[in-house]
Amino acid sequence: MSKLTEAARGQNCLIRIPGICSHNPEQTVLAHIRMPGITGTSLKAVDLLGAFACDPCHSAVDGRLKTDFSHQELWTMHLEGMARTIDWLVKHGKVRA
């Protein structure tokens, strides 16, 4: 387990999908972005390309949980969560910018 994956434990969800987010820090994991050219069969994004996510938000952005949001809306919320996560990681000394 990486330092960034460990850092997600007990943190607030930073994807925050309205009506989906559990706001339960006990469920928070690092949700890696899925993006052609970066991820694919047997390829996961590097940990810096992830967002702190509760289980329902992680399931929604990964497509395991059906929502009324479009793929583009979920993609945008995941990217916003990733930006908030990177900001948190820098401010808490987990990564250096």
Q: Is the pTM of this model over 0.85?
A: yes
Containing domain of residue 40, as a range? 3-91
pLDDT of the residue at 29:
97
Q: What is the pLDDT of residue 41?
A: 81
> Would you write out the chain's pLDDT as a tens digit for each of its 97 residues?
688 899 999 999 999 999 999 999 999 999 999 888 888 888 888 889 999 999 999 999 999 999 999 999 999 999 999 999 999 999 999 998 8
Output b/e per residue, 38-55; b: 16+ Cβ within 10 A.
eeeeeeeeebbbbbbbbb
| Catalytic status, residue 71 | no
How far apart are alpha carbons 52 and 75 in whole angstroms? 14
Active-site residue (options: 32, 58, 71, 78): 32
| CATH code (residue 85) | 3.30.50.20
Check: CB of residue 4 under 8 Å from CB of residue 95. Answer: yes
Q: What are phi and psi of 30, to 5 degrees?
A: -90, 115
Residue 66 lies in a domain: yes
Domain count within the chain:
1
